[in-house]
Amino acid sequence: MNLPDVQNDPPRTESRTDPSRVAELKKTIEIKLLYVVGKDPAHASIHDWYTATALAVRDRIVDRWIDTTRHTYSQSEKRVYYLSLEFLIGRLLTDSIANLEMMPDCRAALTELGVDYDAVRAVEPDAALGNGGLGRLAACYMESMASVGLAGFGYGIRYDHGLFRQQIRDGWQIEVPEDWLTVGNPWEFERAEVTFHVGFGGRVEPKEAVGAQDKSGLAKSAPTKFIWRPAEYVIAIAYDTPVVGWQGNRINTLRLWSARPSEPMQFDEFNRGLHLDAFAEQVRATNISRVLYPDDSTPAGQELRLKQEYFFTSASLQDMVRRHLSQFGTIATLPKAATVQLNDTHPALAVAELVRILVDEHGYVLSTALELTQATIAYTNHTLLPEALESWPVPLLERLLPRHMQIIYEINALHLAKIANRREIPKDRLHALSLIDEHGGRRVRMGHLAFVGSKRVNGVSGLHGQLMRETVFKDLNQLYPDRITHITNGVTFRRWLVQCNPALTSLINEAIGDGWIGDADQLKKLEKFTSDSAFLERFAQAKRANKERLAAAVARRLSVNLDPGAMFDVQIKRMHEYKRQLLNILEAIAHYQAIKAEPNEDWVPRVKIFAGKAAASYHRAKLIIKLINDVARMVNNDPAVRDKLRVAFLPNYNVSLAELIIPAADLSEQISTAGMEASGTGNMKFALNGALTIGTYDGANVEIHQHVGADNILIFGLSAAEVAARRREGHDPRANIAACPELAATLEAVRSGVFSPDDPGRYAQLVDDLTNHDFFMLTADFAAYAAKQREGDDLYRNSGDWARRALLNTARMGWFSSDRAIREYASEIWGAKPETQAGAAE
Ligand code: 26W
């Protein structure tokens, strides 16, 4: 079967350009440039052309957006409110034109205007309103809700500054403020008319008693009613961004709140020349939506973070209640018409806030208000890391949110009362079940609050769901055995294959058509090409083209030359000890030493690519970045290993860089300590783009192993149960090191400063910790990992066979589409019906 050469844009979206459509788009772009951007085409910058193009594309979105909103009202579809403090969106131009299938039209229109299409796409800043997995999942889920036809509303914060920009200076991470809004954001619509007051501080006053209740739970002649009198108000103003679904079937809304002061200034201070004081409150208010907290595991625990969590949660719920009442007139039907998904505990105050609204503003007694709330809210947990589980000091909550703390006490009382008469629950477990952690300063467990206030609680992979039942939510699971479930994460194939890998997408479309873009399971049809050597050759060529594209970018940015013929071995994700970038670089050092020892050995050329940000205060993670760069400097300047091993750390990892790197990967590193990676989503993106995974039996690696088949993945290391057993029965890293000479030699080289001649002791503490503690079990998994890497080398030697295994990965990744995950949420948790049925490709 002879297939045409690989080209740049995928077929469907590369359906022949329609001259009239191109002409029309060209006209619109010119008009936007002239009358909105206000620029003469002869002097327009590439950014001006980007803005004009985005505005032209936006026009085509708005019509369908309004249709969608009308449709939701007319069909009184169930609304899904996805509350997330993070949306790691990335760029939107390519996503919008691809989902509207106007990619070739746009390229043709700009080309005819003499403007470089790829340059226009590359000038868009990433919307980096998230840290990592949790934030990106929210973005994929928004796109999938629109694509499968659900009335999904995303709610979050419009940070002035997203995740910091990472610069690498002398091998060290430097954080630089991110500034995506300075160039304006053509994708958002300021909704000056959509504002809500959000209160902070103050006191709660008893108004009159709450007594008996009528049959609908509404209080009759209330003995005590509480009025919260906040000390200050902040205004939440809405900014709406359209979320374009596949083929523009539906355009949903992402509503991000920005904080504004309730008073523009304190005039009397100003008149007294106290200018700073005059604006102090304003700064305090606007600070709430100023910047994203850059932590993705350890809560900063700062008051401003709590204010962010309550600010967007309250504005979002007030907006939801306003919309519901305007359509249905009574709040009693809320659970039927709306469901709220909490993206981790960051919006967990929603439980107390919805109860407050129902009790204080709609007169419900607390128990009924809690039932209505439980019927409306669901909670997703994304991590088991003890340090990542949020809890807030009771005194801080009492000061900042006195009414909510009161309500949390009452919810806890109801919760504990329910337990009291459950004989099978041992009384000494009460403290573990309480929403209040009494140890040390009293703190509210936000995971417990979210759990008790939700109809369902889900993990993000099978193993994660199981571990939630056995660890963090063990006691609550015993109390509510049917509340915990799991929905394994997914990724959108539109962004993570169609848009970032046109070479492979073209090949797939020619082979099986493009129905898979809306119906991912169709990728399975590719299996029949695994014995088609011509196709496998084309498949390998597509990978090769992506590797050359990445190598060119790395040469440009880092002036490091990567050989596209080598195996591209990639680990890109947030820097964290449990993700074990350290295990990867230690194995690279051992491999480097082995090559040096046997230079004439027929080594498989390997390029090790790293990228990832460390939370600003996470010093051990930053030290590991430095070690990777120290090793890279040594290895890349060592002629003895020139064409056998290269190491590169690419700065400022973000969505756009991931879109460049993932299509070029041969090997995907998913090597977390088993039991610690809740799911992972990068693992899915790599396998989808035809990379083999080397990984532990952790998170969604387990399901990937099940779907792609044991022959097409490289699993090694301790299982989660074995890790837990070692924790219980003792783990002896010294013995592991003694049993593995390569590891011992590697650690000695690192400890003694071989890679840090400028500071020989730089890694002494790191090696000591490994030798004496090794909490993340690196020494236990090193030998198995190194052996598995060599096994990978042997597989890679046979490029045809490697391509076959890689193709089987792509073919068998359909299940990992976020469309599948969203359909599961809709049927299992939300009780909402997607308009387009699974497999219903048009
Ligand atoms: C309060 C500080 C903080 C901020 C973010 C703590 C924890 C988080 C997130 C939960 C961390 C996160 O991104 N978790 C990742 O979520 C992904 C999506 O479900 C999973 O695939 C990853 O395994 C998980 O680490």
Which candidate, 670, 676, 675, 677, places its Cα nearest to that of 705? 670
Which residue minimizes the CA distance to atom 2 of ligand 1?
A: 299
Q: How far is the CA of 574 from the centre of ligand 1 (A)?
A: 10
Ligand 1 centroid from CA 730, angstroms: 28
Token readout for 806 is: 């890689």
Residue closest via CA to ligand 1's atom 11 equals 296
Q: Which helix (H) or strand (E) holds 693?
A: strand 692-695
Confidence category of residue 4, pLDDT binned at 50, 70, 90: very low
Structure tokens at 714: 């490289």
How much distance in Å is there from the Cα of 441 to the middle of ligand 1?
A: 26
Residue 643 has pLDDT above 90, yes or no: yes
User: Atom of ligand 1 at shortest distance to CA of 677?
Assistant: 23
- Give CA–CA dist 203/183, Å, rounded: 42
| pLDDT at residue number 418 | 87
End-to-end CA distance of the chain: 26
Distance from residue 488's CA to the centre of ligand 1 (Å): 14
* 574 classed as catalytic: yes
Compute, in angstroms, the gap from residue 383 CA to the centroid of ligand 1.
6
Active site residue 685: yes
495 contacts: CB under 8 Å, gap ≥ 6: 90, 95, 140, 143, 659
CB 588 within 8 A of CB 680: no
H or E segment and range at residue 315: helix 303-328
Q: Residues 747-754: contacts with CB within 8 Å, 24+ apart?
A: 747/586, 747/771, 749/589, 749/593, 750/586, 750/589, 750/627, 754/634
Q: Which atom of ligand 1 is nearest to the CA of 672?
A: 23
From the candidates 91, 346, 404, 579, which is the catalytic residue?
A: 579
Task: Determine the Cα–Cα distance for residues 159 and 181; give it in Å rounded to an integer.
Answer: 9
Whole-number Å distance between alpha carbons of 373 and 455: 9
Give the nearest ligand 1 atom to 346 CA.
Answer: 1
Q: 663 C-alpha vs ligand 1 centroid, how far in Å?
A: 24
Mean pLDDT, residues 620-643: 97
Residue range 114-143: mean pLDDT, rounded: 98
Catalytic status, residue 579 = yes
Query: Long-range contacts: 112-121, Cβ < 8 Å, 24+?
Result: 112/22, 112/26, 113/26, 113/29, 113/30, 113/41, 113/49, 115/46, 115/49, 116/46, 119/46, 120/46, 120/49, 120/50, 120/53, 120/93, 121/50, 121/91, 121/93, 121/94
Give the pLDDT band (50/70/90) at residue 15.
Answer: low
- From the candidates 494, 573, 591, 646, which is the catalytic residue? 573
CB under 6 Å to ligand 1: residues?
A: 131-134, 137, 295-297, 299, 344, 382-383, 388, 390, 460, 489, 677-681, 699
pLDDT, position 5: 40
- In sequence order, the 6+-apart residues with CB closer than 8 A to the CB of 684 are 489, 490, 491, 496, 700, 704, 813, 816
**Catalytic: which of 356, 486, 574, 823?**
574
Helices (H), ranges, 649-798 = 655-661, 682-688, 701-708, 720-729, 733-738, 741-751, 764-772, 778-797
Cβ atoms of residues 776 and 575 within 8 Å: no
Distance from the alpha carbon of residue 133 to the mean position of ligand 1, in angstroms: 6
Q: Please choose from 296, 488, 825 the residue to mutate so as to test ligand 1's pocket, defined by most ligand atoms within 8 A of CB.
A: 296
Arithmetic mean of pLDDT, 740-751? 98
Confidence of residue 224 (pLDDT cuts 50, 70, 90): low
Ligand 1 midpoint to CA 382 (Å): 5
Ligand 1 pocket check: which of 297, 303, 381 to mutate, most ligand atoms within 8 Å of Cβ? 297
Please, which residues have CB within 8 angstroms of residue 662's CB and are 6 or more apart in sequence? 496, 500, 501, 570, 572, 682, 685, 686, 689, 691
Could you tell me the distance, in angstroms and rounded to a whole number, from the CA of residue 261 to the centre of ligand 1? 31
Separation of CA 299 and ligand 1 centre (Å): 11
**What does the alpha-carbon distance between residue 62 and residue 67 come to, in Å, rounded to a whole number?**
9
Give tens-digit pLDDT for 506-528. 999 999 999 999 999 999 999 99
Check whether 121 has a pLDDT greater than 60.
yes
Q: What is the pLDDT of residues 796-829, one digit of tens each?
A: 999 999 999 999 999 999 999 999 999 999 999 9
Minimum CA distance residue for ligand 1 atom 22? 680
Q: Which ligand 1 atom sits nearest the alpha carbon of residue 681? A: 21
Cβ contacts of residue 699 below 8 Å, gap of 6+? 460, 461, 463, 464, 670, 672, 677, 678, 679, 680, 683
Q: Tokens standing for 514?
A: 């493009």
What gap in Å lies between CA 24 and CA 2, rounded to an integer? 36
Mutational test site, ligand 1, from 159, 344, 391, 463, max ligand atoms within 8 Å of CB: 344
Query: Phi-psi region for residue 641, left (φ > 0), alpha (ψ -120 to 50) or beta?
Result: alpha
In sequence order, what are the residues at sequence separation of 6 or more whose Cβ sits closer than 8 angstroms to the Cβ of residue 725? none
Distance between Cα 522 and ligand 1 center (Å): 30
Question: 681 catalytic, yes or no?
Answer: yes
Closest ligand 1 atom number to CA of residue 678: 23
* Separation of alpha carbons 690 and 664, rounded Å: 9
Distance 573 CA to ligand 1 centre (A): 11
CA distance 368 to 733: 54
Q: Which atom of ligand 1 is nearest to the CA of 699?
A: 23
Q: Greatest CA span in the chain, whole angstroms? A: 91
Nearest CA, atom 12, ligand 1: 134
Mutating to test ligand 1, I would choose from 85, 88, 134 the residue with most ligand atoms within 8 A of its C-beta, which is 134
CA distance 747 to 763: 9
* Averaged pLDDT score across all residues of the chain: 94
pLDDT, tens digit, 9 for 90 and up, residues 245-264:
999 989 999 999 999 999 98
Q: Which atom, in ligand 1's list, is nearest to the CA of 135? A: 13
Q: Pairing between strand 189-200 and 436-437? A: unpaired
Would you say residue 841 has pLDDT above 80? Answer: no
Question: What atom in ligand 1 is closest to the CA of residue 680?
Answer: 21
19 pLDDT higher than 70: yes
- Taking the CA of residue 305 as reference, the ligand 1 atom at the shortest distance is 1
| Residue pLDDT, tens place only, 336-392 | 999 999 999 999 999 999 999 999 999 999 999 999 999 999 999 999 999 999 999
Our CA dihedral for 2, 6, 7, 9, rounded to 10 degrees, sits at 90
CA distance 190 to 343: 24
pLDDT for the residue numbered 10 = 42
Structure-block tokens of residue 621: 């993670």
Task: Point out the catalytic residue in the list 241, 488, 681, 810.
Answer: 681
The residue to which tokens 């008051």 are assigned: 303
The alpha carbon of 346 and the centre of ligand 1 are apart by a number of angstroms equal to 11
Contact between 160 and 213 under an 8 Å Cβ cutoff? The reply is no
Asked whether the predicted pLDDT for residue 14 surpasses 70, the reply is no
DSSP strand pairing (251-261 vs 151-157)? parallel
Mean pLDDT, residues 561-589 = 98
Helix, strand, coil shares of the chain as percentages rounded to 5? Answer: 50, 15, 30
Separation CA 199–CA 210 (nearest Å):
24
Pocket test for ligand 1, best of 157, 383, 618 (most atoms within 8 A of CB): 383
Residue 300's pLDDT band (boundaries 50, 70, 90)? Answer: confident
Atom 1 of ligand 1, nearest CA residue: 299
Measured between alpha carbons, how far is 343 from 83 in angstroms, rounded to an integer?
6
Atom of ligand 1 at shortest range from CA of 86: 5
pLDDT at site 6: 40
What are the backbone dihedrals phi and psi of residue 746, each rounded to the nearest 5 degrees, phi first?
-65, -50
In the predicted structure, residue 211 carries a pLDDT above the cut 60: no
- 26, 158, 685, 762: the catalytic one is 685
Q: Is the pLDDT confidence value at 765 over 80?
A: yes
Nearest to 692 by CA among 821, 528, 551, 813: 813
- The preferred substitution site among 131, 379, 382, 492 for testing ligand 1, maximizing ligand atoms within 8 Å of CB, is 382
Spot the catalytic one: 382, 404, 613, 707. 382
- In the predicted structure, residue 18 carries a pLDDT above the cut 90: no
Confidence grade of residue 839 (pLDDT, cut at 50, 70, 90): low
Give the SS3 label for residue 832. Answer: coil
Please say whether the beta carbons of 788 and 667 come within 8 A.
no
